[in-house]
Amino acid sequence: MKNLLYIGNNLNTTKTNISSIQVLGGLLEFEGYNLRYASSYSNKFIRFLHMLWYCIRYAKWVDGVLIDTYSTQNFYYAFLCSLVCRLFAVPYYPILHGGNLPERLDKNPKMSASIFNNSRLNVSPSLYLKSIFNNKGFDNVVYIPNSISIDKYEVTPKLYDAIRLLWVRSFSEIYNPKMAVKVMKDLKDSGYSVELCMVGPDSDGSLESVKALSKKLNVDVKFTGKLSKEQWIKLSRDYNVFINTTNYDNMPVSIIEAMALAFPVVSTNVGGLPFLIDNNENGLLVPVNDVDAMVKSILRIFNNKDLRHQLSTNARQKVECFDWEVIKTQWYSIFKPN
C-alpha cells in the first residue's frame, strides 16, 4: 500500500497550530508513501465538498484513506467520507482525536457504528480512547501514539531561582487558559517570584478574555502568539515548569514535547492525560480547574530538587518510545495488504 489520501484539517493560519495531517502526512511522505490531502480550504462548506470530491476522484488511485476524526463538526465530515469510501470499496482508517469523542459515541451511536465498524482499522493515538472504544464494542482499534523526532528536543539545564511557567496550546475555551493566569496570581500573592509565558494562536476569541483577566488581576503575562515548533522550543529554555490547564484532552503533542524537553509537567487529570502521565512518576496531575491544587503541585516541584529531577528524567524516558523511528513500523504494519 503506497498511495494514500489523507482527509483532515490542512489549514495553516494564524488561528491554528500545526495539525496532525501536516505532521504525520509529511513523515509518511518521507518514508516513500504517495499522499494527496483534503482539505486546506478555509470555508467549512467548501472544505467539506473538497474532501468528498477527493474521496471520489482518487477512489481508483488510492490504496487507503486516513480520516482525522474529531467529536465536533468534523465528525460529520468523517461520517460522509467513510460512506463514500465504502461506496467505492476503498479501505479507510479513522484516526481518533479529541477528548470528547466518548460523548459523541453516546450521542450518535448509529453514525458511530457506521464509521468505526466498517473501517479497515481505527487508529487511536491514546490508550484512553482505545479503552473507551473497546468498552463500546469496537474491537478493530489499534494504538499508535502521536510521534516526535526525539533528536530535535535537546534537554537543557533549568534554573530554579524563580518560578517560570510555560503554557503551550491554542487559546480555546476547552483548554481553560484562564486557569493559568489564576495560578500565576495565586503564586504571586503567596510571595513568589513568578513568570508565565503563554504560547499559541487564538482559535475562538479566548485570547482577549485571557488578556483582560491578566490585566484585572494585575499579573504580567507574556503572550507570544503562534510560534513555530523551533521557535517555542528555543523559548522554552527560559522556563522551568510546564503547565497544562485543559478541561478535555486526548493525547496532546505539546505535553509529549514538554516531556521530551525534560520539563516537570503539571496537568489537569482529564481524558488521556493519566494514560500519558503517571502521577508522581513523570509528572503531576491535578483535578480539573483546581487552581489551588495546581499551585501546590508547582510549589512541590519548585521546592524539591529530588522530585523535579525524578519527574524530568522519567518524562524524557517515557516519551523516547514515541520517536518516529519507533512509531513508523506500526504504520507500516497496518498498511500491509490483508
pLDDT beyond 90 at 288 = yes
Residue 22 has a pLDDT of 82
Of 8-22, 75-89, 161-175, 299-313, least confident by mean pLDDT is 8-22
> In whole numbers, what is the pLDDT of the chain averaged over residues?
94
Q: How confident is the model at residue 16 (pLDDT cuts 50, 70, 90)?
A: low
pLDDT at position 98, please? 76
Residue 11 has pLDDT above 90, yes or no: no
Instruction: Give residues with Cβ within 8 angstroms of 216, minimum separation 6.
Output: none
Res 223 pLDDT > 70: yes
Q: How many secondary structure helices (H) and strands (E) does the chain include?
A: 14, 12
Question: How much is the average pLDDT of 279-304?
Answer: 98
Residue 99 has a pLDDT of: 77
Handedness of CA 143, 105, 70, 200 (dihedral sign): negative
Question: What digits encode the pLDDT tens for the residues 67-94?
Answer: 999 988 889 999 999 999 999 999 999 9
Instruction: Give the pLDDT of residue 41.
Output: 87
Q: What is the DSSP letter of 279?
A: B
Q: What is the pLDDT of residues 236-275, one digit of tens each?
A: 999 999 999 999 888 899 999 999 999 999 999 999 999 9
Nearest to 231 by CA among 206, 208, 212, 257: 257
**Distance between CA 78 and CA 225 in Å, rounded?**
30
Residue 206 reports pLDDT greater than 80: yes
Give the pLDDT band of residue 296 (cuts 50, 70, 90).
very high
Cell of 41: 480550504
- 241-244 and 3-7 strand pairing: unpaired
Residue 12's pLDDT band (cuts 50, 70, 90): low
Is the pLDDT assigned to residue 66 strictly greater than 90? yes
Q: Does residue 14 register a pLDDT over 60? A: no
Q: List, in sequence order, the alpha helices (H) in the chain.
A: 20-30, 44-57, 74-87, 101-107, 109-117, 127-135, 178-189, 206-216, 229-235, 253-260, 273-276, 291-303, 305-319, 324-334
Mean pLDDT of 25-50: 92
Identify the bridge partners of residue 284 per DSSP, sorted by sequence position. 266
> Nearest-5° angle of CA 32, CA 53, CA 118?
75
In the chain, the domains with their CATH numbers are 3-147+323-334 (3.40.50.2000), 150-321 (3.40.50.2000)
Burial (Cβ within 10 Å: 0-12, 13-18, ≥19) of residue 244: buried
pLDDT per residue over 110-152, tens digit each? 999 999 999 999 999 999 999 999 999 999 999 999 999 999 9
pLDDT, mean of residues 59-69? 96
Q: Which amino acid is at 94?
A: P
Q: Are the C-beta atoms of residues 33 and 2 closer than 8 Å to each other?
A: yes
Q: Are 78 and 67 in contact (CB under 8 A)?
A: yes
